[in-house]
Structure 1
Amino acid sequence: MTGFTRRGLMGAGLALAPVAAAAADGDPWGEVAARFDVTREVVQLENGAWGMMARPVLEAYGRHQEMVNRRTSYYSRRLYGPDLERVRDRVAASLGVDKAEIAFTRGATEALQALIGGYNRLRPGDAVLYADLDYDSMQSAMRWLRARRGVQPVAIALPEPATHQGLIDAYAKALADNPRVRLILLTQVSHRTGLVTPVAEIVAMARARGVDAIVDSAHAWGQLDFKLPDLGADFVGLNAHKWIGAPVGVGVLYIRQGRTADIDPHMGSADYPEGDVRDRIHSGTANFAAFLAVADALDFHEQVGASAKAARLAQLRARWTEPLREAGGIEILTPPDPRLASAIGAFRLRGRPSAAENVQLARTLLDRFGIFTVARTGLASGACVRVTPAIFTRDADIDRLVAALRTLGAS
């Protein structure tokens, strides 16, 4: 990637002070943004569904697709396996785990459904626990365990406003009130409000009670600077097509060594040696080029730098949430505690929590101000509008949002 090196960003100290670095070394984040072909139809502040590929990744994906299309099954049957293992090595290194602990999926949803549905330590009369901020498909999978395993699903609402200790206390109370719980679902970064859950502390607390945790890290990998062992969790689902910037259709399933037998093989699959994590998922014929391009996405991600990227995303979120936290008419749902905040933020107009009102609010931002966001439902407190910048987002885009929300809040 000519002219774009780790030294160009990390040497400027972006991981510690993005704004000061930009002033001292030109505009390094402008240099990053220039690697993306961003639409100018709108101010794109809805980057949570999936992440845009940087131009070098998109170009590599095209080359992989051309090669696979040209060589067809000669490639897929004879050469793809070793190539995919090299990608698996890269992903495992990025996550800080052994490659024997991971398998590729088509997304975090597929990975997490395999973990939830395949978890075989539940017995009739046990209970499972999830929260209002968990992803909808994961909530429904936890409820499905009633029919699958004969267990009782228990749902809780996480506290608002959230605090670090308050979140830990909420799960502690839920476990104490429901002593039959044997499995909990934890979401590392909420797709609704961007809330970062203190996963490591809650996992340790649950383990002390004999409770396993399945962790949804769909929005965490590439947005936060962490390694999987930091979470202490034995079962995790992740996405590569959100914040890592790989092509759509790539996820990762993680099972810590020694726990594979606690997840059933997929429909009794036996394609790999007994106990192989890859037998816990079966996605059919793969988008070969998409999986190959994960290595190129990791190249770009690592050149930017995980800590620099996390700091920039947090700064972009704070640039709009903090000036508006005390603004009249606006309710910011994302906590100010940096331990609990990510790139994603959410808001609503005060006294207007309905789904219809927030759908209309997102529509007003688009039609009146040219700013694209998305309404989210499912919070116990009501609906909201989610704002999700990316590393190509410019400060001016955020400032435009702040001006629009001040106008809407005042009216």
Structure 2
Amino acid sequence: MTENRRKFLKTLGIGAAGALATPTQIWARATTPIESVLYDLQSGDTSEAYWKTIQSQFHFAEGLTYFNNGSLGACPKPIREATINFQNTLDDFPSKYMWGGWKDEIEEVRKKTADLFSVSEEEIALIHNTTEGMNLIASSMDLQPGDEIISADHEHTSALNPWKYWQESKGVKIVTPTLPILPKSVEEVVDVYSKAITPKTKVISICHLVNTNGMILPITEVTEMAHEKGILVAVDGAQAAGMLTFDLKEVGCDFYTVSAHKWLFSPKGVGIFYAKQESQKHLKPLIVARGYEDTSIRRLENYNTRNLPEVLGLGAALDYRNAIGAQKIHDRTYELKHYFRDKIKDNKKLILKTPELDTLSAGIQVLEVKDKYMLDVQMELSYNHGIECKPVTKFGLNVIRLSFAIFNSKKQIDTLVNVLNTIAG
């Protein structure tokens, strides 16, 4: 190696060893921040002290108590650092790692993502977000005038609008049944979809967990009913993936799409798209670039250039999640739900507008403060107490939406409830 070459590498801070490092070695170095905490997370401990350790790994602005994970999740510090390390590597060797240098590592992220849902890696595309996934589905469907799509009234606009844009102009009808706000049983919700189905129904577009009042929709039961009639099922899983444990093979849906920046706590800008193997024949890429002839699901994520450090950051986030344990996260979510509901049950001015059954709700709970306008309540919480949540006024709701995540503590809920009691008077 020439002296000039050595000096050049030294200015990059990597040296000859860095220049010759394999992608696997680069991965190991980039993920050092997370490797240093994974062992400590692998514990059967479920005490508040354990969850305080988790809480310490999420950094928020001073004075902020965050109950708005349903809008945008936080990324733990080790994942932030790993992603920055990947970004630095990419900028040190731009061409090498953008086109092929990280091929095996990207495939490893795909495998980890497939394991999350108990499916094959050949059924997973690594996209940008749920909105892209819903557009991918809606733009691909070869529907005819008079065909019908069922999309209930609580669907997110980013799940509904793709169907309007890509299919309504063709004469396809979007059927919008009304969901109950406080159903007493799963069967009550299934019945809404059953009554909406006609011989013209071709697709049911359904949210796993609605963003309006935190209601879980029975996607397994709806899918079984739909498939008996030859109807495809597309699921918006933005609010459920990472919060709840489930097996997509058991669910049976054709498509499931996720924004990983919510309950998977990944870097922003990376999403997950699941397509059942036998249903992939319906799909066409949203963006066409080199390699569009690829018959595998990878054709759906071929953007030529993209922010690969975010994709690798998703892999690191999944390592972090797996170290804690999917079931432990699931159980903690319900523990915080029950703790909150129990704390407010005796105050008649604090009115829950989220179904009580665990089969119908989890980590998102919405609350009305009697005789108070929710925007006023939200501003009081935010400006005077540093508590961030989301106001919801759709469907006659006048509520604040509270998202309970693994970085939230019972002590934070105590503080929240004390403030709400004061606001309620």
In the superposition, the TM-score normalised over structure 1's length comes to 0.88
Counterpart of 2:396 in 1: which secondary structure?
Answer: coil
Q: In the alignment, does 2:71 pair up with 1:46? A: no
Q: In the alignment, does 2:240 pair up with 1:224? A: no
CA contact (8 A) 2:75 2:267 kept: yes
Q: Post-superposition shift, 1:81?
A: 2.4
Q: In the alignment, does 2:128 pair up with 1:110? A: no
Match of 1:133 in 2: 154
More deviation, 264-273/46-55: 264-273
Counterpart of 2:213 in 1: which secondary structure?
Answer: coil
Q: Post-superposition shift, 1:285?
A: 2.2
| Aligned CA distance change for structure 1 residues 3 and 187 (closer, same or farther; 3 Å) | closer
Q: How does 1:263-274 map to 2 (within 5 A)?
A: 263-266=283-286, 271-274=291-294
Match of 1:348 in 2: 368
The number of residues matched between the two structures is 390
CA contact (8 A) 2:350 2:367 kept: yes
More deviation, 146-155/210-219: 146-155
2:308 to 273, 283, 288: 288
CA contact (8 A) 1:240 1:252 kept: yes
Per-residue Cα deviation, 1:191-220 (whole angstroms, up to 9, x for no partner): 222211111011101111222110011121
Match of 1:80 in 2: 102
CA contact (8 A) 2:38 2:320 kept: no
Structure 2: stretches of 5+ with no match in the other structure: 1-34
CA contact (8 A) 1:376 1:386 kept: yes
1:369 to 368, 378, 385: 385
Q: In the alignment, does 2:192 pair up with 1:182? A: no
Q: How does 1:180-219 map to 2 (within 5 A)?
A: 180-219=200-239
- Counterpart amino acid of 2:73? G
Per-residue Cα deviation, 1:76-95 (whole angstroms, up to 9, x for no partner): 12313232122212211222
Q: In the alignment, does 2:39 pair up with 1:5? A: yes
CA contact (8 A) 1:103 1:278 kept: yes
Structure 1: stretches of 5+ with no match in the other structure: 15-20
Cα separation, 2, equivalents of 1:143 and 1:166:
27
Cα separation, 2, equivalents of 1:80 and 1:7:
27
Match of 2:423 in 1: 408
Counterpart of 1:65 in 2: which secondary structure?
Answer: helix
CA contact (8 A) 1:133 1:158 kept: yes
Q: Post-superposition shift, 1:269?
A: 6.0
Match of 1:149 in 2: 170
2:317 to 293, 297, 305: 297
Counterpart of 1:132 in 2: which secondary structure?
Answer: coil
Per-residue Cα deviation, 1:225-284 (whole angstroms, up to 9, x for no partner): 112213110111112221111100010111111211112333666724453223235545
Q: How does 1:299-318 map to 2 (within 5 A)?
A: 299-318=319-338
Q: Post-superposition shift, 1:113?
A: 1.4
| Aligned CA distance change for structure 1 residues 8 and 85 (closer, same or farther; 3 Å) | closer
Identity of aligned residues (%): 25
| Aligned CA distance change for structure 1 residues 406 and 115 (closer, same or farther; 3 Å) | same
CA contact (8 A) 2:234 2:253 kept: yes
- Counterpart amino acid of 1:5? Y
Match of 1:387 in 2: 402
Counterpart of 2:351 in 1: which secondary structure?
Answer: strand
Q: In the alignment, does 2:310 pair up with 1:258? A: no
- Counterpart amino acid of 1:44? Y
Cα separation, 1, equivalents of 2:364 and 2:328:
16
Q: In the alignment, does 2:350 pair up with 1:330? A: yes
RMSD: 2.1
Cα separation, 1, equivalents of 2:335 and 2:153:
27
Cα separation, 2, equivalents of 1:279 and 1:291:
16
Between Structure 1 and Structure 2, whose CA radius of gyration is higher?
2
Cα separation, 2, equivalents of 1:89 and 1:342:
27
| Aligned CA distance change for structure 1 residues 149 and 392 (closer, same or farther; 3 Å) | same
In the superposition, the TM-score normalised over structure 2's length comes to 0.86
Cα separation, 1, equivalents of 2:285 and 2:84:
34
Q: Post-superposition shift, 1:395?
A: 1.1
Counterpart of 2:412 in 1: which secondary structure?
Answer: helix
Cα separation, 2, equivalents of 1:164 and 1:405:
30
CA contact (8 A) 2:42 2:323 kept: no
| Aligned CA distance change for structure 1 residues 326 and 144 (closer, same or farther; 3 Å) | farther
Match of 2:376 in 1: 360
CA contact (8 A) 1:113 1:141 kept: yes
- Counterpart amino acid of 2:39? T
CA contact (8 A) 1:241 1:250 kept: yes
Per-residue Cα deviation, 1:29-55 (whole angstroms, up to 9, x for no partner): 112112222333222111222221212
CA contact (8 A) 2:289 2:303 kept: no
CA contact (8 A) 1:260 1:275 kept: no
Cα separation, 2, equivalents of 1:268 and 1:150:
26
Match of 1:399 in 2: 414
| Aligned CA distance change for structure 1 residues 34 and 157 (closer, same or farther; 3 Å) | same
CA contact (8 A) 1:105 1:281 kept: yes
